[in-house]
Amino acid sequence: MIKRFVLYNIAGIAGTMIYLLLMLLLVQFLKINAVFSASISYVFLILFTYIANTNFVFKDRDKTNSSLLKFVIVSVAGFLLNGGIVYLTVN
């Protein structure tokens, strides 16, 4: 249980680092709009965390279509929330 907790946190921290580094690259260096950059970065974040969690953290669980569907639903909700927050803070 503790091992899974540690791996889950490592995957989350790594995902957050990917998100932040992509945002930095896209906004500061490539001068892309912050809301669009946040959208691109968030897509990479959810792809990374899904792959990391299914292959390393919860590798002993069944990989069913229902778990993927739940992940997609939660990710889309987070995507919309993230985009809204970035839009409100930038504009």
pTM for the model stands at 0.80
Cβ(40)–Cβ(26) under 8 Å?
yes
CA gap 70, 91 in Å, rounded: 32
The amino acid present at 14, given as its one-letter code, is A
Cβ(45)–Cβ(19) under 8 Å?
yes
Task: Name the CA dihedral angle for 2, 12, 83, 79, rounded to a multiple of 10 degrees.
Answer: -60
Report whether pLDDT(63) > 70. no
In total, the chain counts a number of residues equal to 91
* Average pLDDT for 77-90: 90
Cβ(42)–Cβ(84) under 8 Å?
no
Condensed to tens digits (0 to 9), the pLDDT of residues 12-30 reads 999 999 999 999 999 999 9
